[in-house]
A and B are shown apart, each in its own frame.
Chain A
Amino acid sequence: MTLATLVRQVARDVWHDLGWIVLYGALMSCAAYALVLTAVNRALVADQGAATEFFLERGAQTVTLSNVPSRAVGSASGEGAALEEAAPRDAEALFAFFDEALVEDGVAGSVVYVPGALGYDVALVFLGAYADLPAYERDRSAPVSFAVSRDLAGEVSSALELDGTRYPLDVVGPDFGIPYPGYYEGPELVEANYRDTLFVFCPSYRLACKLIGELRSTDALSGPLQRIVLFDPSPEDVARFRGAVLGATGLYARVTPLDEGMASESFSSARTQLAVTSFSALAAAALAAALVASLFSALVRRVGELSVHHVFGAPLGLLYARMAAFALIYQALPTCLTLAAMAGLASVRAKLVPAMVLVALAVVAEALLVALLAWRRLRTVARRGLRTTRGT
């Protein structure tokens, strides 16, 4: 018997069950796609959670700036909630606070965007506690570390010269992400958003201002104040900070512990996530079970017919090959659609590639196993001699 004949036979087997194959293919791919999407969302949420953890562990307190109600500052005797105009007065106290708080192991951290700095499209300066962002291992023995975005890898020299001093110049790794309180800019987003970028990890605000003059020249409302986070500050630190901000901007700085409200929010989010994941997983598992059962049933339906082939000369090994090929093709459509869905997502999440390989291998193994189970039934039937075909 030629391979072409075997292929024709398998094609005919598939043709007889094409309706089921298409139906299960469509349903399975929908369920699998939903599951994959849920898994990706879950991974993203986990990343966000890890980022938030970074801040929570350090007792972070976020800052919100708002106009000062007249009664709050006691500067006006007007009724109600009339707001006083924000009027910048003295920025020196604020800069002094930055000098003191934005240092190695200081009580504050911030990241400042400086467009066009040092010849790059943008420079991101990580100050104070922010210099220890988890996704980059800076040299803590050095006061400052520089790294460029990955698009510049191979295009820049290994050192950066500033004011006659040469600093080592690194390239950020593929896992480099930027955590903010309650939000995480993951590696994919960083790679997409920051091109031609210099990342400066400099705990000392004062040193950073020396290296990048634009930092000190920015007005008080921009610069470190925009994204400042206080880490485990004492009441005195908070009071001083508020006073400095009020003095510099006329705005009231509301300092809120990050963990307030975060617990109930994360619980609610986790519960929703669990419900969606469970539903998707159950739907996918139920459909996968139905697909496997349907495949097994389709194979068993053929046992009578295949036993006739065996009587007239088809070896059992050849019949197993036919059953296994049918089983593989039966599952090829849902598998291919699922892998296509995963491939689409893999462009966003590189971690999915091993999962795709695993899915493909699992499907092949499962198809061969189901075919083997049905084939064992055929072998049993074949051992009945001339009664082999009864009822076919």
Chain B
Amino acid sequence: MVLIQLRDVCKTFGSGSEAVRAVDHVSLELAAGESVAIVGPSGSGKSTLLSMMGLLLPPDSGTVLVGGRNAGAWGDAELCRFRNRTFGYVFQDFALLGEETVFENVRLPLLYRGDVARREHRSRVKAAAERLGIEDKLRTRASKLSGGQQQRVALARALVCDQPIVLADEPTGQLDAENRENVVRVLLELAAEGRLVVVVTHDLEVAGRCDRVVRMHDGRLVE
């Protein structure tokens, strides 16, 4: 089942002589159960493409369909609700709330979910934490964890709502070999469970383990 469809999408940053076309007429279809790596040199538009797939950036032209739905005309509140239920995001720098506990970080998407009762939060967070092996860290402040542990917290946060799509932007960029292996293993497991996992990476070894590799250069696909 196709989960994400990009139809001739373009994105330009800046204007006039300083305008930079980050994504240039890209069309792509990504299906559930796939693990897809987007690779390419720095500045080739990988993260911008991923942001548009995750409905965090609107395209200047073209269409992004997620689950067959076009979010182009939605307001912010509706978009937020849809993103919350559909996407799990993983960032290179983890993007955790450093002053909060691991529990609060993992629970974050549940706060905005709306249809999950508060009493269910603990069991959901616990299940996600157990899966990532961080159940003993739930009361620890996120800023006290190592890089590998922080990325596992970020992964737990990305799957606590059972989101069907996981988007990861350089998820192994700041990790050592052991932690990189753990993160890649979890991401591939998520794809094996039927989720769509899209990973932007410079690491060709990580890309090679994905079902599909999409290459970008100067904002265009060179698949």
**Residues on A facing B (Cβ under 8 Å):** 1-2, 5, 16, 305, 308-317, 382-392
Q: For chains A and B in complex, what number of residue pairs have CB atoms within 8 angstroms?
A: 77
Beyond A313-B83, A317-B77, whether A389 also contacts B95 by CB under 8 A is yes
Closest to A385 in B: B51
- Report if B34 contacts A (CB, 8 A): no
Min CB distance, A389 to chain B, in Å?
Answer: 4
Q: A209: shortest Cβ distance to chain B, in Å?
A: 84
Interface centre among B54, B84, B98, B111 (most CB of A within 10 A): B111
Q: What's the nearest-Cβ distance from chain A to residue B12, in Å?
A: 14
Contacts of B57 in A (CB 8 A): 383-385
The reply to whether A315 and B54 contact each other, CB–CB distance below 8 Å, is: no
CB of A312 within 8 A of CB of B56, answer no
Task: Check B172 for interface membership: any CB of A closer than 8 A.
Answer: no
Residue B50 is within 8 A (CB to CB) of chain A in the complex: yes
**Contacts of B169 on A, CB cut-off 8 Å?**
386
Q: Hey, which chain A residues are within 8 Å of B114, CB to CB? A: 1
Q: Is the CB of A1 within 8 A of B97?
A: no
Given contacts A385-B56, A386-B167, contact A315 B76 (CB under 8 A): yes
Asked, given contacts A16-B99, A311-B89, A316-B76, whether A388 binds B113 with beta carbons under 8 Å apart, the answer is no
Tell me, rounded to whole Å, the shortest Cβ–Cβ distance linking A323 to chain B: 15
Interface centre among A5, A305, A391 (most CB of B within 10 A): A305
Across the interface, name the chain A residue whose C-beta is closest to B168: A386
Q: CB distance A312 to B93 under 8 Å?
A: no
Contact B97 A312 (CB under 8 A): no
Q: Report chain B residues within 8 Å CB of A5.
A: 111
**What residue of chain A has the Cβ atom nearest to residue B88's Cβ?**
A312
B209 interface residue, CB < 8 Å from A?
Answer: no
Q: Please indicate which of the listed interface residues B54, B77, B98, B99 has the most CB atoms of chain A within 10 Å of its own CB.
A: B77
Are B56's CB and A388's CB within 8 A?
A: yes
Partner pick for B77 among A315, A383, A384, A392, CB 8 A cutoff: A315
A-B contact pairs, 7 of them (CB 8 A): A2-B118, A5-B111, A308-B96, A313-B83, A313-B112, A317-B76, A392-B93
Q: B149 an interface residue at 8 Å Cβ cutoff?
A: no
B interface with A by C-beta (< 8 Å): 47-48, 50-52, 54, 56-57, 76-77, 80-81, 83-84, 89, 91, 93, 95-99, 108-109, 111-114, 118, 157, 167, 169
State in angstroms the CA–CA spacing of A2 and B47 once bound together. 33
Chain B residues near A311 (CB-CB < 8 A): 56, 83, 89, 95
Q: How far is the CA of A241 from the CA of B51 in the complex (A)?
A: 98
A12 to chain B, nearest CB (A): 8
Q: What are the 7 tightest A-B residue pairs by CB atom distance, in nearest-first order?
A: A385-B51, A313-B84, A313-B112, A389-B95, A385-B57, A315-B77, A385-B56
| Smallest Cβ-Cβ distance to A316: which chain B residue | B76
Q: Which residues of A contact B97 (CB under 8 A)?
A: 305, 308
Give every chain A residue within 8 A of B96 (Cβ-Cβ): 308
Residue with the greatest number of chain A CB neighbours at <10 A, chosen from B48, B80, B99: B80
Partner of A391, one of B51, B80, B93: B93
Distance, CA A386 to CA B109, complexed state (A): 16
Query: Which single member of B51, B112, B157 contacts A314 (CB below 8 Å)?
Result: B112
* Contact call B80/A386, Cβ cutoff below 8 A: no
Question: In the complex, are the beta carbons of A312 and B108 less than 8 A apart?
Answer: yes
* Chain A residues near B91 (CB-CB < 8 A): 386, 389
Q: Is there an interface contact between A315 and B80, defined as CB atoms closer than 8 Å? A: yes
CA distance A313 to B78 in the complex (A): 9
Q: Return chain A residues, CB-CB under 8 Å to B108.
A: 308-309, 312
**Residues of chain B lying within 8 A (CB to CB) of residue A392:** 93, 95, 98
Q: Chain A contacts of B76 at CB under 8 A? A: 315-317
Bound-complex Cα distance A386 to B199 (A) = 12
